[in-house]
Structures are given as C-alpha cells and as structure tokens.
Amino acid sequence: MDAQLKRGLLDVCVLTAIKTEDSYGYKIIKDTKPYVELSESTLYTILKRLENAKMLTVYTAIHGGRLRKYYRITQNGINRINEFKKEWDEVISVYQFIIKEGKKQ
Amino acid sequence: MTKQEFLDTLKIKLSNLPKKEVNERLNFYSEMIDDKIEDGLSEEQAVLEIGTPDKVKDEIIKDIPFYKIAKEKIKPKRKLSWWEVTLIVVGAPVWFSLLIAFLAVIFSLFISAYAVTVSLWAVFVSLIALSVCGFLAGIIHLFIKGFFNGGAIIGCSIFLMGLTILFFYACKFLSVAIFKLTKKTLFILKKSLINKENA
C-alpha cells in the first residue's frame, strides 16, 4: 500500500481505538488486531505524531503497582475522524463507479 | 531474553540518541512487555513478540530525523575545560570549514541524485516532442519533396516513438531505484553516526 495512504489510515485507526474510552498501548494493538497489524514501534510513532498534532492527550495512571500511559482523544482528533469519513465517502463513490463500469466490458 | 536484558541492550544500542527520547521509548516498550505478561504471556514470549533489540533499533533510527542524530553526536558528553574551549574557538577556521565541506558533499550527493532523475524525465519529454514534430514534418515533406523523402522521415519518427515508450519504462525504473538509493544512504548515514561509539 502507498506509504502516505497507509499513514493516514493508521492515524485514524488509532484515533478510533481511543474514541469511546481512553486506552493504553497494548489495548490499542489488541483492539485493532482483527483489522490491521500494528507493531509496537509503529504504534509509538503514530501516538507521538498524534500527540504533536494535538489530536490526543497523554496522562499517566497507576495500574497494578506500576505506571501506565493512557491516551485520550481531543476535539481535534474527533474532527480528524469525521474529516476522514467524509473524504472516504467520496473515494467509495468513485470506487463503485470504477467497479460498475468495469463490469460492463 | 528477560525484559531487563532487552531494555538494557536497547539502551546501550541507542546511547548516541537524545536521552529523553530514548527513555520515553524504553518506558513504552517496558509497559508493553508488562501488559503482555499480565495478559498471560511468559516474559520470554512477551519480549520475543516485540522483536530483537537490533530490529527495534533499526525501526527507531528510521523514525528519528537526521539533524537530531547529528546534533546529539556533536554535543559534548561532559563539560569542556577552558583550554578545550579555547582550542575549539581558535581552531574554528579549520573545523568549521571542514564541517561545511562535509555537509556540502552530502548535500551535493543528494542534489545530483535528484538532478539525474529530473534530466532523465527531461530527455523523455524531448523524445516525445521530437517524435511528434518529426511525424508532422514527415507529412509536410510528403507533399513538398515527394513520397520517399517524407516516408523516410515518418518511418524514423515512428521508430522514435517506440523508443520513447521503452524509455518511459527505463525512466520509471531508474527514478524508483534512485529514490530507494537515497533513502538507503540516509539510513546508513544515520546508522553510522549512532554506531561509532558502541561498535
């Protein structure tokens, strides 16, 4: 897959994984596993990028006697997901056109 | 490999990177391994799933911009004494020009790689123009100078068009190869900056 496309896709994928409730690294990987294979290093990069873009915030909480980082989505992040959906509605309609016309021949 | 061994190895391998950045990453991996163990994996398995320290190191290097690695490399590891500072200041004309020359060499390498790509495509465009114009000129000659003269020019133009199509694939292949090569060079450059001290 095109690198640029994949990056955008994974960003929104991670944002969606933390949308309904705050989450942590391992849970994000587990939740997205059925759909996409995220390595730990890749996830770190994505989380860092989203944090820098102010699409999520990070806080630390104690869990079982150790520290764990939690990620919370911001309004910016929610906006990004919505934007993405809108963009892809267009992509899908073009895709359907391509498939439909392809069948005619 | 235990979790502590993994983290210690990785720490040594990344010792030439900014401290803060390395610690943040180590914490991230440490948390990941703990969570995997809590989920029922053995410590050994959990570490195995993350990957070998070498593999993780390579991924991290790809991730960090070149200037950050270079900056960390230049930064002195301890405080400099007054005579060292004096030497650096006095020697500035020497080391500064050397540094500039070194950077210029790297920069020009990249520029020339891209220049080659651009000129390849320029040749491709001129081939298109040449074959199209030749074809038109051939038609005109057909009327002015007769059948054989015009026909020969048209034939040459069509041959050139075929060549142009072949050249397109060559161009595409070379562009991709050059792009990959520059990316690889940057990675090796970064790696060499990091490796020197713990080699």
Residue ranges per structural domain of chain A: 3-104
Query: Is there a contact between B56 and A41 if contact means CB atoms under 8 Å apart?
Result: yes
Contacts of A41 in chain B (CB under 8 A): 51, 56, 59-60, 63
Count Cβ atoms below 10 Å from residue B6 Cβ, excluding itself.
23
pLDDT at B84: 83
The residue in chain B having the minimum alpha-carbon distance to the alpha carbon of residue A39 is B50
Q: What is the pLDDT of residue B191?
A: 80
Average pLDDT for residues B119-134, to the nearest whole number? 93
Q: Are residues B97 and B191 in the same domain?
A: yes
> Would the pTM of this model clear 0.90, i.e. be above it?
no
pLDDT-derived band of residue B199, with 50, 70 and 90 as boundaries?
A: very low
Shared-domain flag, residues B154 and B185: yes
Q: Give a yes or no: residue B70 inside a domain.
A: no
- Higher-pLDDT residue of B14 and A11 is A11
What tokens appear for B81 in the block?
A: 């004494």
Residue A40 near residue B32, CB atoms below 8 Å: yes
Burial of A28 (0-12, 13-18, 19+ CB in 10 A): buried
Q: What are all long-range contacts of B179-182, with beta carbons under 8 Å and residues at least 24 apart? A: B179/B117, B181/B113, B182/B110, B182/B113, B182/B114
Confidence of residue B188 (pLDDT cuts 50, 70, 90): confident
B97, B23: one domain = no
B chain contacts of residue A67, beta-carbon cutoff 8 Å: 27, 31
Instruction: Choose, out of A41, A44, A63, A71, the residue to mutate when testing the contact with B (most B CBs < 10 Å).
Output: A41
In degrees to the nearest 10, what's the CA dihedral of B155, B156, B162, B165? -140
Same domain membership, residue B107 and residue B58: no
Looking at the 3D structure of chain B, how many domains does it have?
2
Query: Which of A26, A41, A66 comes nearest B60 by C-beta?
Result: A41
pLDDT in tens, A23-60: 999 999 999 989 888 888 889 989 999 999 999 999 99
Q: Is B178 within a domain?
A: yes
- Taking CB atoms and an 8 Å cutoff, what residues of chain A touch B27? 67, 69
Shared domain check, B92 and B12 = no
Q: Which of B11, B34, B64 finishes a domain? A: B64
Distance CA B158, CA B131 (A): 7
Mutation site for A-interface testing, chosen from B34, B47, B179 by largest number of A Cβ within 10 Å: B34
Do B93 and B52 fall within a single domain?
A: no
Claim to verify: residue B192 and residue B116 sit in the same structural domain: yes
Same domain, B193 and B142: yes
Q: Is pLDDT of A13 > 90?
A: yes
Residues B93 and B126 in one domain: yes
B16 and B99 within one domain: no
Treating both helix axes as pointing N-terminal to C-terminal, what angle do B19-38 and B43-50 enclose, rounded to 10 degrees? Answer: 130
Q: Are residues B102 and B177 in the same domain?
A: yes
Q: Which residue has the higher pLDDT, A5 or B71?
A: A5
What pLDDT score was predicted for residue B56? 87
Band of pLDDT at residue B77, cut at 50, 70 and 90 = low
B39-76 residue pLDDT tens: 888 988 888 888 888 888 888 887 777 777 777 777 76
Is B16 contained in some domain? yes
State the complex-level ipTM. 0.83
Instruction: Convert the pLDDT of each residue in B93-118 to its tens digit.
Output: 888 888 899 889 988 988 998 899 99
Name the residue range of residue B110's domain.
Answer: 84-198
Closest CA to B25 of B7, B38, B37, B41: B7
Interface of B with A (CB under 8 A): 25, 27-29, 31-32, 34-36, 38-39, 50-51, 56, 59-60, 63
CATH code: domain A3-104 is 1.10.10.10
Cα–Cα dist B161/B128, whole Å? 7
B158 and B97: one domain?
Answer: yes
**How many C-beta neighbours within 10 Å does residue B120 have?**
16
Nearest to A63, CA basis, from A27, A92, A98 = A27
